[in-house]
């Protein structure tokens, strides 16, 4: 089976949905951020603060190149992974791209904690809602390139998983 690649903004549930989906459809699971942390031997926060965003994006590109060679994986990306058109093209080669979205309020409540999302923290000059809105606006076109989109604002990762499984079966990607 093709890979199923979850893209979308921070706080849309890519990791929790990815894990649930992989176990539901019997695929391996890979989380791009976790693989970056493993490769660097540091947390995302440490990579950003000690080595900078460019270095983080290079790790991200390396992880995408490695993962795009596989099949039968559910891959949860980071919120900025597909900002790089080469990353998106690689993931599209043998993957179906699913975007998770959420309302501004849902994203705000899921990403309130400072210190774990360096890109959001850097945009936040005291008004987190505005920081999210601006970043969302700048990325909307990127996320719109997905094959299928699920709004996760008011539903659990398990419900999102059911929705994605239905879509994969309907499209003949996943066989019953
Ligand atoms: C980022 C999102 C994060 C992580 C890094 C950069 C972004 O992933 O990759 O902090 O640019 O949106 P999550 O979407 O899993 O929070």
pLDDT of residue 104: 98
Q: Note whether 78 and 151 are within 8 A (CB).
A: no
3-state helix, strand, coil in the chain (%, to 5): 55, 15, 30
**Residue of 115, 102, 99 lying closest to 4 (CA atoms):** 99
**Pocket mutation for ligand 1, best pick of 7, 10, 138 (most atoms within 8 Å of C-beta):** 10
Instruction: Name the residue at shortest CA distance from atom 11 of ligand 1.
Output: 80
User: In whole angstroms, how far apart are CA 33 and each of 25, 131, 148, 159?
Assistant: 22, 21, 22, 23
Nearest CA to ligand 1 atom 8: 78
Q: How far is the CA of 44 from the centre of ligand 1 (A)?
A: 9
pLDDT of residue 9: 98
Evaluate if residue 176 carries a pLDDT over 80.
no
Tell me what pLDDT residue 146 has. 98
3-class DSSP state of 75: strand
Task: Report CA(160)–ligand 1 centroid distance (Å).
Answer: 20
Round to whole Å and give the CA distance between 130 and 123.
Answer: 9
The confidence score (pLDDT) of residue 38 equals 98
Confidence category of residue 72, pLDDT binned at 50, 70, 90: very high
* 9 CA to centre of ligand 1 in angstroms: 8
Calculate how far, in angstroms, residue 164's C-alpha sits from the geometric centre of ligand 1.
22
pLDDT in tens, 21-67: 999 999 999 999 999 999 999 999 999 999 999 999 999 999 999 99
Using a 6 Å CB cutoff, which residues line ligand 1?
10, 14, 33, 44, 78-80, 117-119
| Secondary element (H or E) of residue 74 | strand 73-76
Write out pLDDT tens, residues 108-167. Answer: 999 999 888 999 999 999 999 999 999 999 999 999 999 999 999 999 999 999 999 999
Reference 32, options 93, 80, 69, 98; nearest CA is 80
């Amino acid at each position: 089976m093709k890979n199923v690649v979850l893209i979308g903004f921070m706080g849309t549930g890519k990791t929790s949905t990815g894990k649930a989906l992989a176990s539901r459809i019997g695929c391996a699971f890979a989380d791009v951020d976790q693989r970056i942390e493993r490769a660097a031997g540091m947390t995302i926060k440490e990579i950003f603060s000690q080595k900078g965003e460019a270095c983080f994006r290079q790790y991200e590109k390396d992880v995408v190149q490695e993962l795009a060679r596989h099949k039968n994986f559910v891959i949860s990306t980071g919120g900025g992974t597909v900002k790089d058109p080469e990353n998106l093209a690689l993931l599209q080669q043998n993957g179906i791209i699913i975007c998770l979205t959420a309302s501004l309020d849902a994203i705000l409540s899921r990403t309130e904690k400072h210190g774990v999302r360096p890109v959001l923290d850097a945009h936040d000059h005291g008004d987190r809602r505005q920081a999210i809105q601006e970043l969302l606006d700048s990325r909307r076109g990127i996320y719109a390139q997905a094959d299928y989109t699920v709004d996760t604002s008011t539903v659990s990762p398990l419900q999102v998983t059911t929705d994605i499984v239905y879509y994969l079966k309907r499209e003949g990607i996943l066989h019953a």
